[in-house]
């Protein structure tokens, strides 16, 4: 029982640090350019992970097959380079709370991508859950205004965050094609390295690696992004999932947008209008319906 309690604590811890990502990005928006935030963050992450893998198992532990290497490059482009750069760009124009709530559509978008690209089947309740989540996302980005929807007057930053979630969902679906025995740390290390490399290449040529100012809060935010959201959260999540299983652990992703919105409110003093709260409730309800539908399918198929 104590072991399970410890695992649940680590799941909450991981979700808390992942929920802090929009907050940190919002703080850093006036200090570093999006390209530099992403490049520096994932350079640090990849160096730490490769060092850990090397000291743990030598060169053999960081080798991957050519098949996996090609997929890891694609994942690094979509899930690290584009996803994070666009996220931090979007946080210039929308609040951390809004970004966190919008990011909660991720599981629903991933289910759609899995259906389109790898033929994963969903029950009618699974599709119902996705529809509910997407309705919630539309309510959030439109602030409940029909005019915003009909005249396409959405907030630019919020559209970027939606794009980010689509890119991340494609990243997740591509990962299903990796060899089953590939080390999860290796996946993160390689994709982080690819993403960081592209940031510095495009950043140098486009003069997009900019430091506006550096203050103590910026250093703290960067370390939270890199060490805690990038490594501690990942390690905590994998440890916990190995103890309680993916099905039970996966339910904890509901906490990420809630932590994100709460941190934006507490730390930055952001406010949420009632339409955004209603939209968030739709998104979370849709996630619950989708997950319960998947779990039911698994039980019925045995």
pLDDT digits (tens, 9 = 90+) for 249-293: 666 777 888 888 889 989 999 887 888 888 888 878 887 787 666
- Whether 178 shows a pLDDT value over 80: the answer reads yes
> Which of the given ranges, 9-13, 33-37, 92-96, has the highest pLDDT on average?
33-37
The answer on pLDDT for 151 being more than 70 is no
* Chain segment 131-147, per-residue pLDDT in tens: 888 888 888 878 778 77
The angle at the Cα of 170, spanning 165 to 172, to the nearest 5 degrees, equals 95
pTM: 0.85
Taking residues 213-218, report their average pLDDT.
95
Burial of 11 (0-12, 13-18, 19+ CB in 10 A): buried
Cβ contacts of residue 215 below 8 Å, gap of 6+?
A: 31
DSSP category for residue 160: H
CA-CA distance, 18 to 133, in Å (whole number)? 20
Position 4 scores a pLDDT of: 72
pLDDT tens digits, one per residue of 6-19: 888 998 899 899 99
Cα 253 from Cα 273, distance rounded (Å): 23
């Amino acid at each position: 029982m104590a072991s399970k309690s410890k695992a649940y604590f680590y799941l909450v811890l991981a979700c808390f640090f992942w929920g802090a990502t929009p907050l940190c990005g919002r703080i850093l928006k006036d200090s570093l350019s999006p390209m530099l935030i992403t490049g520096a963050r994932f350079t640090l992450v990849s160096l730490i992970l490769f060092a850990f893998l090397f000291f743990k198992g030598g060169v053999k532990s960081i080798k991957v097959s050519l098949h996996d290497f090609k997929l890891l490059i694609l994942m690094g482009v979509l899930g690290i380079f584009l996803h994070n750069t666009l996220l931090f760009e979007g946080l210039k124009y929308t609040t951390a709370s809004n970004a966190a709530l919008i990011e909660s559509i991720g599981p629903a978008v991933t289910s759609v991508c899995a259906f389109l690209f790898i033929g994963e089947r969903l029950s009618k309740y699974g599709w119902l859950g996705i529809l509910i989540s997407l309705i919630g996302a539309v309510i959030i980005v439109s602030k409940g205004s029909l005019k915003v929807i009909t005249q396409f007057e959405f907030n630019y930053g919020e559209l970027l965050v939606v794009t980010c979630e689509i890119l991340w969902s494609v990243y997740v679906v591509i990962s299903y094609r990796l060899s089953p025995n590939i080390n999860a740390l290796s996946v993160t290390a390689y994709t982080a390295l690819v993403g960081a490399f592209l940031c510095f290449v495009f950043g140098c040529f486009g003069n997009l690696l900019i430091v506006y100012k550096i203050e103590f809060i910026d250093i703290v935010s960067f370390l939270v992004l890199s060490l805690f959201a990038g490594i501690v959260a990942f390690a905590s999540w994998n440890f916990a999932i190995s103890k309680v299983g993916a099905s039970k652990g996966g339910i904890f992703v509901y906490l990420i947008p809630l932590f994100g919105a709460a941190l934006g409110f507490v730390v930055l003093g952001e406010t949420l209008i009632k339409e955004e709260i209603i939209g968030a409730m739709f998104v979370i309800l849709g996630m619950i319906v989708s997950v319960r539908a998947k779990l039911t399918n698994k039980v019925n198929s045995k």
